């Protein structure tokens, strides 16, 4: 079978998908399979690595190579895979608990190293698999089994974390939004660590956490779709925009003396702007969707391979006897 | 040991010795490790057998002049085959009062003590903790007991380098070479290898020709001082050892281990991916391997211990040799991930260079107390393979063996090295790589009938590598369905898989050699050990055998699975003694497994056994005076029944070292 003929179905494994009916993960899985087919990915060359949590069951449902590892450690496992074989296309699937709590350290380091991985962080703002405790992205005051009087932790912004970790590609999208496939394609095309936060609905423990961003009636008022080089305009009628005032973003009404040129223009190469956008959150601001930041940079595993090539060129490909005989040797005569 | 004969060499008589133990001690910044290493190299080059014990503080520069900041290096060099750095020091070089204070008790009665008299100032004596107005060099307690030579090393070094053009600080840093030169003279060793080293290192590598010149000048000044001054009546000579002819180099355990891993990669046609987080005393395996890019070695300095082991597992999944190196505290952090490798049945090598614990413990001191952690320190039943090298050079063979087992049996292998082996050095007969057996690995490529958890006759599952068409499969930490590898929570299947995982490790025993007994295969006493205690045990047992005692020894390099004949071996002796640098971990296993009344000699001082300590325990065992005691502990270099109770303050010790029979 030629790779060209693969369809989304060909990327489905023979395993029954065991997520709860109505879970946002289904939409992401379907989109991922479509993107693999569209990009003519080779199944044998594709590896999905995950940690622990609902999202991390993802690899079982893709007919590619897959590794369901341990809680929080997928970035490290995936890094090892890429170091050992840089030619593989490696996707990493994690969640808000897996990626930002128990595995927060690894996420930071895999991003700063710019290992050529595509990282999908399913953010449902709750611990699903352990039955509904608050997560590092849960809003302050969240009432759950483990926080009956409301959580007292401030939530993290995954996009801010990724940007602060020197990520070379950072994006956000929503499980059931039209831009998901597009963002996944952009991530796949990026050379280096691509970080994608995906708002994902846990319809059992945190249903409608992102309703403001998914309800057809209101969502365009609450999200802003980022386009490189374009002004930051949003709203169903595209009548609102984001302007910088006193170094801070503010929402302004267009057509009331404010022109498009007065607005902020998106620039994917501007990390300060990207960070500023990552701080905009509901309900004070529309939440940006799309690619926040994208720059080209060398990948860790390529630099490592280059060091080996350089060392071999400079010192000659060494053999074992040369190794054993390095240093001070001496001979004991018979 | 003095062999007796005297001859004339130069202007001074030379006494022949069969072996000598020299100890360089000074402040952390005094260059004692360098002086000791140079002496070792030279002794090896002229054909002595050597064994070393570096001893340094955990702090890089503890307060200067204090006992806490003393750094030492012990070398045993001999005309015989030796296996330990020596029990008693024949010559101590003490570069300051703190070094004197820290190590004077290690010197044999009548031994040589060369003190850097320049540094025995009021201030330094106070820093060493001596009371005001007291100088140990004037105390008959020491002057009558040892041959103390006061040499103003600092001043002589400064004078020798007055015209060197170096500043005072740089000049002071050369004084270790003056001391080394003097010791070279005293033990009749050539200075040429060190001259060559100084020229290469400072002259060429560091491009500091003036530093190289100064070091060489003071090295020679030290040598000539010995020759010219009337201070030393005799010098000593240790003849070449009757070592097997061939080409040698000196290796430390960590160097040998690094080379063994590289050799395994070449022999299996794989890439070595070494993933590690810096930790004493394992870090220089990482340093050694990071410098071997031209051998195709990939090293990954991870953000933490967990990331290091996980990356190594990822590398194994992707078809290369994944190795992670650490010490005890890091092992604790890696345990969950090691179990992932147990469950996914991937090759993985974990190097644990043990140090004193628990917790941070004694980072630079040796201990072998991670055996039970390696064996059991993970959730659930978690069988894997455990090997332990018995000498620095053996680290090479163990690394090769660990790789062979891990790759061929798809099983994690833990190597239990220790601080003493890692930093200690011995001569290594350089192998010819052509004589090393290739490690033949097959990766399944035929998708027809492929099942990820189907097994061969050794219960080993296939190792299909990502990138291979038609073999796409998923693995993970959830329990696997037998054969298919699908996730399974089935009750009977879980039990079956648990049996398989255990049996798979047991089957490795078919591939490993039987345990060899050193001495008679039955008798009054078997002394059995594992890991870095090999040299002390062997030497003690040799002496017992020479004295006509019915004692044999055996040493375990394979701890899981244990050699198939181990039960027969331990049951062939009336008594079994297990010396260990822990509270009795192998002893516990032997008792549990074979219902044998094994007794212990247990030392937890961050130091290897003295041969004498093992000898004393042997005699106590043979004399039947161990009584009800399950183990004895040496105190102040002696094993005595009357020393076994500790004064624990208000808490009456309930005979902790005895067991109800």
- Please state, rounded to an integer, the average pLDDT across all residues of chain A: 96
Could you give the 3-state DSSP secondary structure of residue B593? helix
Lowest pLDDT segment from A298-307, B243-252, B304-313: B243-252
The percent of residues above 90 in pLDDT, for chain A, comes to 93
Judge: B307–A78 Cβ closer than 8 Å, yes or no.
no
Phi, psi of B135 (to 5 degrees): -130, 120
Q: Is A272 on the interface with B (CB under 8 A)?
A: no
- Shortest Cα distance, chain B CAs vs residue A147, angstroms: 28
Determine which of B254, B260, B476, B481 to mutate to test the interface with A (most A C-beta atoms within 10 Å). B476
Q: Which residue from A minimizes the CA distance to B346?
A: A67
Judge: A67–B475 Cβ closer than 8 Å, yes or no.
yes
Query: Which residues lie below 8 Å from residue B266, measured CB to CB, with a gap of 6+?
Result: A319, A320, B295, B433
Where does the pLDDT of residue B56 fall: very low under 50, low under 70, confident under 90, or very high at 90 and above? confident
What one-character-per-residue DSSP string does A311-332 give? Answer: HHHHH----HHHHHT-S-EEEE
Judge: A88–B320 Cβ closer than 8 Å, yes or no.
no
Cβ proximity of A93 and A117 under 8 Å: no
Determine which of B307, B433, B439, B480 to mutate to test the interface with A (most A C-beta atoms within 10 Å). B307
**What is the arithmetic mean of pLDDT over A72-88?**
98
Give me the residues of A, 193-222, that contact B with CB < 8 A: none
- Nearest Cα to Cα of residue B645 among B629, B657, B660: B657
Q: Is A75 on the interface with B (CB under 8 A)?
A: yes
Confidence (pLDDT) at A318: 78
Give me the residues of B, 35-74, that contact A with CB < 8 A: 41, 44-45, 47
**Tokens in use for B317?**
């999944």
Q: Which residues of B touch A82 (CB under 8 A)?
A: 314
Alpha-carbon distances, residue B214 vs A67, B38, B69, B159, B633 (angstroms) = 59, 16, 26, 11, 48
**Tokens in use for B410?**
């798809």
Phi, psi of A253 (to 5 degrees): -85, 130
Cβ proximity of B117 and B151 under 8 Å: yes
Domains and CATH numbers, chain B: 2-238 (3.40.920.10), 249-435 (3.40.50.970), 442-511 (no CATH), 517-643 (3.40.50.920)
Cβ proximity of A259 and A292 under 8 Å: no
**What is the arithmetic mean of pLDDT over A99-109?**
98
Q: Which residue from A minimizes the CA distance to B299?
A: A304
Question: How confident is the model over B190-242, as pLDDT tens digits?
Answer: 999 999 999 999 999 999 999 999 999 999 999 999 999 988 888 999 998 88
The percent of residues above 70 in pLDDT, for chain B, comes to 97
Measured distance CA(A254)–CA(A233) in Å, rounded:
9
Judge: A88–B466 Cβ closer than 8 Å, yes or no.
yes
Judge: B430–A328 Cβ closer than 8 Å, yes or no.
no
Q: Which residue has the higher pLDDT, B63 or B404?
A: B404
Q: Any idea which residue has 């993985």 for tokens?
A: B348
Determine which of A61, A74, A330 to mutate to test the interface with B (most B C-beta atoms within 10 Å). A330
Measured distance CA(B353)–CA(B415) in Å, rounded:
8
Alpha-carbon distances, residue B308 vs A125, A261, B301, B385 (angstroms) = 29, 50, 7, 20
Confidence (pLDDT) at B268: 97
- Please state, rounded to an integer, the average pLDDT across all residues of chain B: 94
Strands (E), B193-320: 235-238, 246-252, 272-276, 298-301
Give me the residues of A, 276-315, that contact B with CB < 8 A: 304, 307-308, 310-312, 314-315
Partnered with residue B228 across adjacent β-strands are none
Judge: A83–B486 Cβ closer than 8 Å, yes or no.
no
Lowest pLDDT segment from B247-251, B332-336, B577-581: B247-251
Measured distance CA(B75)–CA(B71) in Å, rounded:
14
Closest partner CB to A324 (pick from B308, B311, B431): B431
pLDDT at residue B2 is higher than 80: no
- Shortest Cα distance, chain A CAs vs residue B344, angstroms: 9
Question: How confident is the model over B522-578, as pLDDT tens digits?
Answer: 999 999 999 999 999 999 999 999 999 999 999 999 999 999 999 999 999 999 999
Judge: A73–B306 Cβ closer than 8 Å, yes or no.
yes
Q: Which residue from B minimizes the CA distance to A3?
A: B469
| Exposure letters B303-318 (e unless 16+ CB within 10 A, then b) | bbbbbbbbbbbbbbbb
Confidence (pLDDT) at B11: 63
Cβ proximity of A78 and A115 under 8 Å: yes
Q: Which residues of A touch B294 (CB under 8 A)?
A: 308, 311-312, 314-318
Judge: B263–A308 Cβ closer than 8 Å, yes or no.
no
**Tokens in use for B73?**
């290096």
Classify domain A3-209 by CATH architecture.
3-Layer(aba) Sandwich (3.40)
**What is the arithmetic mean of pLDDT over B645-659?**
66
**Within B318-454, where are the H helices?**
328-344, 371-376, 394-409, 419-423
Where does the pLDDT of residue B649 fall: very low under 50, low under 70, confident under 90, or very high at 90 and above? confident
Cβ proximity of A147 and A182 under 8 Å: no
- Shortest Cα distance, chain B CAs vs residue A66, angstroms: 4
Domain regions of chain A by residue span: 3-209
Closest partner CB to B266 (pick from A65, A307, A320): A320
- Taking residue A242's Cβ as centre, other Cβ atoms within 10 Å add up to 24
Determine which of A48, A65, A68, A102 to mutate to test the interface with B (most B C-beta atoms within 10 Å). A65
- Nearest Cα to Cα of residue B345 among B410, B281, B284, B293: B410
pLDDT at residue A186 is higher than 90: yes
Determine which of A56, A89, A324 to mutate to test the interface with B (most B C-beta atoms within 10 Å). A324
Judge: A106–B307 Cβ closer than 8 Å, yes or no.
yes
Q: Is A16 on the interface with B (CB under 8 A)?
A: no
**What is the arithmetic mean of pLDDT over B635-654?**
83
**What is the arithmetic mean of pLDDT over B439-458?**
96
Q: Is B137 on the interface with A (CB under 8 A)?
A: no
**What is the arithmetic mean of pLDDT over B502-520?**
97
Q: Which residues of A touch B470 (CB under 8 A)?
A: 44
Query: Which residues lie below 8 Å from residue A75, measured CB to CB, with a gap of 6+?
Result: A92, A94, A103, A106, A107, A109, A110, A115, A117, A119, B307
Alpha-carbon distances, residue B467 vs A38, B51, B173, B321, B472 (angstroms) = 20, 48, 56, 17, 9
Q: Is B479 on the interface with A (CB under 8 A)?
A: no
Q: How far is CA B549 from the centre of its chain?
A: 29
Q: Is A155 on the interface with B (CB under 8 A)?
A: no
Judge: A330–B249 Cβ closer than 8 Å, yes or no.
yes
Q: Which residue from B minimizes the CA distance to A90?
A: B466
- Nearest Cα to Cα of residue A205 among A20, A17, A18, A16: A20
**What is the arithmetic mean of pLDDT over B61-66?**
86
Measured distance CA(B323)–CA(A308) in Å, rounded:
18
pLDDT at residue B187 is higher than 50: yes
What one-character-per-residue DSSP string does B68-131 give? Answer: GGEEEEEEEEESS---SS-SSEEEEEESSHHHHHHHGGGEEEEEEEEEEGGG--HHHHHHTTPP
pLDDT at residue A4 is higher than 70: no
Cβ proximity of B32 and B95 under 8 Å: yes
Determine which of B263, B379, B472, B481 to mutate to test the interface with A (most A C-beta atoms within 10 Å). B472
Q: Which residue has the higher pLDDT, A86 or B7?
A: A86
Give me the residues of A, 103-122, that contact B with CB < 8 A: 105-106, 108-109
Q: Is B333 on the interface with A (CB under 8 A)?
A: no
Question: How confident is the model over B275-303, as pLDDT tens digits?
Answer: 999 999 999 999 999 999 999 999 999 99
Q: Which residues of A touch B313 (CB under 8 A)?
A: 69, 77, 80
Determine which of B309, B341, B345, B474 to mutate to test the interface with A (most A C-beta atoms within 10 Å). B474
Judge: B307–A331 Cβ closer than 8 Å, yes or no.
no
Question: How confident is the model over A133-155, as pLDDT tens digits?
Answer: 999 999 999 999 999 999 999 99
Sequence length of chain B is 661
């Amino acid at each position: 079978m030629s790779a060209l003929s693969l369809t989304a179905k060909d990327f489905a494994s023979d395993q029954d998908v065991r997520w709860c009916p109505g879970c946002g993960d289904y939409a992401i899985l379907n989109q991922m399979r479509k993107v693999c087919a569209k990009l003519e990915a080779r199944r044998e060359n594709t590896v999905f690595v995950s940690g622990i949590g609902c999202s991390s069951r993802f690899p079982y449902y893709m007919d590619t190579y897959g590794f369901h590892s341990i809680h929080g450690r997928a970035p490290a496992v995936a890094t090892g895979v890429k170091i050992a074989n840089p030619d593989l296309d490696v996707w990493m699937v994690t969640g808000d608990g897996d990626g930002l709590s128990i595995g927060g350290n690894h996420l930071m380091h895999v991003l700063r190293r710019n290992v050529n991985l595509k990282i999908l962080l399913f953010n449902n703002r709750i611990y699903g698999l352990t039955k509904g405790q608050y997560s590092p992205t849960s809003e302050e005051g969240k009432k759950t089994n483990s926080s009956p009087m409301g959580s007292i932790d401030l939530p993290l912004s995954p996009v801010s974390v990724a940007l602060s970790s020197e990520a070379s590609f950072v994006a956000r999208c929503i499980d059931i939004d039209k831009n998901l496939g597009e963002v996944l394609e952009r991530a796949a095309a990026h050379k280096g660590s691509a970080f994608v936060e995906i708002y994902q609905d846990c319809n059992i423990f945190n249903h409608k956490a992102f309703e403001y961003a998914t309800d057809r009636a209101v969502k365009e008022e609450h999200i802003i779709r980022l386009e490189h080089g374009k002004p930051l305009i949003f709203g169903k009628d595209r009548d609102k925009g984001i302007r910088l005032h006193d170094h801070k973003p503010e929402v302004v009404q267009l057509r009331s003396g404010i022109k498009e040129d007065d607005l902020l223009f998106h620039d994917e190469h501007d990390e300060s702007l990207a960070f500023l956008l990552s701080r905009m959150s509901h309900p004070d601001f529309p939440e940006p969707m799309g690619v926040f930041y994208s720059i080209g940079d060398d990948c860790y595993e390529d630099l490592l391979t280059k060091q080996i090539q350089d060392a071999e060129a400079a010192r000659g490909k060494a053999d074992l006897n040369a190794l054993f005989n390095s240093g001070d040797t001496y001979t004991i005569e018979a | 040991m003095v062999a007796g004969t005297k001859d004339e060499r130069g202007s001074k008589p030379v006494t022949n010795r069969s072996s000598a133990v020299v100890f360089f001690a000074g402040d952390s910044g005094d260059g004692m490790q360098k002086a000791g290493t140079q002496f070792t190299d030279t002794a090896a080059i002229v054909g002595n057998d050597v064994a070393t014990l570096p001893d340094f503080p955990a702090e890089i520069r503890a307060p200067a002049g204090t006992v806490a900041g003393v750094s030492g290096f012990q070398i045993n060099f001999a005309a015989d085959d030796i296996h330990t750095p020596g029990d008693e020091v024949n010559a101590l070089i003490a570069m300051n009062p703190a070094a004197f204070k820290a190590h004077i008790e290690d010197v044999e009665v009548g031994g040589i003590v060369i003190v850097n008299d320049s540094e025995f100032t009021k201030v330094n004596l106070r820093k060493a903790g001596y009371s005001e107005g007291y100088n140990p060099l004037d105390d008959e307690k020491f002057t009558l007991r040892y041959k103390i030579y006061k040499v103003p090393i600092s001043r002589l070094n400064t004078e020798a380098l007055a015209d060197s053009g170096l500043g005072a600080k740089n000049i002071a840093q050369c004084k270790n070479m003056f001391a080394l030169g003097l010791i070279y003279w005293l033990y009749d060793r050539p200075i040429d290898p060190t001259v060559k080293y100084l020229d290469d290192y400072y002259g060429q590598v560091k491009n500091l020709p003036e530093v190289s010149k100064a070091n060489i000048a003071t090295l020679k000044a030290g040598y000539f001082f010995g020759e010219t001054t009337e201070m030393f009546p005799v010098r000593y000579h240790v003849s070449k050892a009757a070592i097997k002819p061939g080409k040698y180099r000196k290796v430390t355990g960590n160097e040998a281990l690094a080379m063994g891993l590289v050799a395994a990669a070449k022999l299996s046609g794989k890439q070595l991916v070494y993933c590690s987080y810096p930790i004493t005393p394992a870090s220089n395996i990482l340093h050694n391997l990071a410098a071997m890019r031209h051998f195709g070695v990939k090293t990954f300095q991870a953000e933490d211990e967990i990331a290091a082991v996980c990356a190594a597992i990822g590398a194994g999944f992707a078809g290369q040799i994944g190795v992670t190196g650490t010490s005890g505290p890091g092992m604790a952090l890696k345990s969950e991930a090691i179990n992932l490798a147990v469950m996914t049945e991937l090759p993985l090598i974990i190097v644990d260079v043990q140090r004193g614990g628990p917790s941070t413990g004694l980072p630079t001191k040796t201990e072998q107390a991670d055996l039970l952690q390696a064996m059991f320190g993970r959730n659930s039943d978690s069988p894997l393979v455990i090997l332990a090298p018995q000498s620095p050079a053996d680290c090479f063979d163990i690394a090769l063996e660990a790789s062979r087992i891990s790759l061929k049996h798809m099983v994690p292998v833990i190597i239990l090295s220790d601080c003493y082996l890692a930093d200690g050095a011995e001569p290594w007969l350089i192998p010819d790589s052509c004589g090393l057996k290739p490690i033949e690995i097959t990766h399944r490529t035929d998708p027809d009938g492929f099942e990820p958890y189907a097994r061969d006759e050794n219960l080993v599952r296939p190792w299909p590598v990502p990138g291979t068409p038609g073999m796409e499969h998923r693995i993970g930490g959830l329990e696997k369905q037998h054969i298919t590898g699908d996730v399974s929570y089935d009750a009977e299947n879980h039990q079956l898989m648990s049996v398989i995982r255990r049996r798979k490790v047991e089957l490795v025993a078919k591939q490993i050699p039987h345990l060899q007994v050193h001495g008679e295969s039955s008798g009054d006493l078997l002394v059995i050990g594992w890991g870095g205690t090999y040299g002390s045990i062997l030497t003690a047992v040799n002496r017992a055998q020479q004295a006509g005692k019915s004692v044999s020894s055996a040493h375990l390099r394979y701890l899981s699975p244990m050699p198939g004949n181990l039960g027969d071996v331990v049951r062939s002796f009336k008594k079994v003694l297990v010396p260990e640098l822990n509270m009795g971990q192998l002893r516990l296993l032997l008792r549990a497994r074979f219902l044998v009344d094994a007794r212990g000699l247990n030392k937890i001082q961050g130091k290897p056994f003295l041969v004498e300590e093992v000898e004393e325990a042997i005699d106590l065992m043979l004399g039947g005076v161990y009584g009800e005691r399950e183990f004895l502990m040496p105190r102040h270099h002696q094993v005595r029944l009357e020393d076994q109770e500790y004064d624990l303050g208000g808490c009456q010790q309930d005979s902790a070292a005895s067991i109800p029979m």
